[in-house]
Structures are given as C-alpha cells and as structure tokens.
Amino acid sequence: MNAASAPKKFFYAQPAGRLDNSSMAVHWEHAIPCFRNAPHVWNVGGQDNVAVFLLDTGDGCILFDTGLNPETFYLTLDRIWQSGHDPRDIRKIFLTHWHWDHTANARVLHELSGCEIWLSREDEIEHQKHAGDTSPFRVTPYAVTDFYDDDRPVRMGRFTIRTRLCPGHTPGVTSFFFDDTDDATGQTYHVALHGGLGVDPMMRSETLRRYGYPEEMAHRFIRDCYELAELPVDIALASHYNQANIVPNIPADTNDYSVFVADYAWGDVLRNRAGAVKLFYPETYPEAGKE
C-alpha cells in the first residue's frame, strides 16, 4: 500500500471511554503513558481523556493545560518526571480555556513551581463567574497572572509561540502555533493546538442562550475553523485525545514522535468540527451534511 492510499490515522473520533464521574473510581484503568508528541513536546496528562503538553524550551518548561481533575494529578506529575523533566522547572502554564477539566491542577503546579498562569481576558471573565461552582463540576481555585496578546508572541528559549483567540467552545478559547526543530535531523515542524473543539452541546443555540453567549459565537467558530484549516500544520496537538484519535496511535516506542507527523490532521479535524456546528443551524447552512 502506498502512502496515498493508506488509511488516515488521525481524525475526529467520538468520545469513548471518557473519564466521567461514574468512572472516577477506576481512573487507573484510564492511565496512559507519557509520550513524545513533537521534538521538544511531551504529552504528560497520564489519562486517556484530556491532554497536558510539556514543552521543553531549553530555558525552563511550559505546560499547555493542567489535567483532568485533582484525582488524576498523580499521573500527570509522574508523567512529567518520566519525560525527563522536573515539575519545579515549569515557568508558564498556558490554559486553552477556563473549563475545570483543563485548569484543575493549575493551582498545585503553581504552588510547586511558582509558575505564571496564562488565560485569555475573555475566559478570565468566565472563570470569575464560575469560580465558586461545585456542581456539576468543581472549579479548582487558581489565580491568573498573565493574559494572551495575539499581537505579541511569547518567546521563551527555543520557542516563539503565537496565540489566536478562537471563540466558540467558550468565549476565550485560545489556540497556539509554534515551530519545533528536531536537533538530530534539523527538520522543523509547524505545530498547532486548537484550544476548544468540543461543539456539542456547547455550540447549540439553546446552550449558548443558557450561558448568555451570542449565537454569533457559533458562526464565528465555523468561519475560524475554515480559515485556520488552511494553515500548514505538520503536527496537530489534540487537547482531548478523541479530537484527533490520538490514543490508538501512541507508539510502542513512546519517544518516537514521528507517527504524529501528519499534514492532513489539522485541516481535517477543523473542517469536521465546523461541519458539525453547521448541522445545528440548518436554516443558515442548508448545505450542511450534503457537502
């Protein structure tokens, strides 16, 4: 079979075996290893639902998101050590959005390392609104220290990280773009992480209304997905593993990131998500589902 006819490994897969409250008692059954996702990026979440990415900048570490919940933090901490890094070397946490399943361990990681905690201004408003929530999900307290500015990339060590506000899943979802070069081969990869691709029920009109968000947020999400899908991305990071069918593709050699180099994955997943939101608004998008 040649490369052109090989089935695609990475695609939007429906959530399955997700770690929810009913499976919380057996979260160890959802444990996954630490694995390398790009030359200087390791996936250290430790469970099969929500990702945590560790970037080794050469001048301290950056984390994207902080893990699903306090109960599985031991897995994340263990995977950080397994990746060859010291959690006390984390300098910055970049949160994709304010939701509990991405921010749960920001506070303890800050206590451990003294790191900065970054979020968008838009989602800090949401974070403050929901800071006291205990049901259905408890928002673990954390304090934001810095806000993204899409016109000012963050430079740290080997990385220059560009941000882009991508409202939809929440008003302040942030996506990240950077290049990563393999020291051994000299090959440079364009790497991207979309911060919020969960659309159902978030982008249904009744959900948007309930949260007090304008319906326009769903339409902007669609436009942004199609625009961003055109960017050349070699390695698409997935904040929930199902969003690019990651878990079945973790290689036996967890140091071999080459399996994740797939230039179609980013565009495919974003167009899939835009199409899924269109189905919620058939009057606006009569062509949806028939394309």
Q: Residue written as tokens 């934001």? A: 144
Angle (deg, nearest 10), helices 216-229 and 265-278: 160
By CB under 5 A, residue 127 contacts Zn ion: no
# residues contacting Zn ion (CB under 5 A): 2
The piece of 78-86, 95-103, 154-162, 246-254 that touches Zn ion (CB under 5 A) is 95-103
Burial class from Cβ neighbours inside 10 Å (0-12, 13-18, 19+) for residue 226 reads: middle
By CB under 5 A, residue 123 contacts Zn ion: no
The piece of 33-41, 97-105, 136-144, 159-167 that touches Zn ion (CB under 5 A) is 97-105
SS3 249: helix
* 95-117: b (≥16 Cβ within 10 Å) or e: bbbbbebbbbbbbbbbeebebbb
Measured from the Cβ of residue 162, the count of other Cβ atoms closer than 10 Å reads 16
The piece of 16-24, 34-42, 93-101, 212-220 that touches Zn ion (CB under 5 A) is 93-101
* Cβ proximity to Zn ion, 37 vs 239, nearer residue: 239
The piece of 37-45, 65-73, 92-100, 264-272 that touches Zn ion (CB under 5 A) is 92-100
The C-alpha atoms of residue 52 and residue 48 are separated, in whole angstroms, by: 11
* Cβ proximity to Zn ion, 9 vs 18, nearer residue: 18
* Cβ proximity to Zn ion, 140 vs 181, nearer residue: 140
| Shortest Cβ 109–Zn ion spacing (Å) | 17
Q: Which of residues 43-62 bind Zn ion (CB under 5 A)?
A: none
- Select the residue interacting with Zn ion from 99, 164, 194, 278 (CB under 5 A): 99
* Cβ proximity to Zn ion, 141 vs 289, nearer residue: 141
| Shortest Cβ 134–Zn ion spacing (Å) | 17
* Cβ proximity to Zn ion, 79 vs 99, nearer residue: 99
Contact (CB, 8 A) for 56 and 30: no
Contact (CB, 8 A) for 277 and 199: yes
By CB under 5 A, residue 101 contacts Zn ion: yes
* Cβ proximity to Zn ion, 36 vs 127, nearer residue: 127
3-state SS record for 87-135: HHHEEEEECCCCCHHHHCCHHHHHHHHCCEEEECHHHHHHHHHCCCCCC
* Cβ proximity to Zn ion, 57 vs 69, nearer residue: 69
Measured from the Cβ of residue 241, the count of other Cβ atoms closer than 10 Å reads 23
| Shortest Cβ 5–Zn ion spacing (Å) | 34
∠ CA 76-90-239, rounded to 5°:
50
- Interacting residue ranges for Zn ion, rule: CB under 5 A: 99, 101
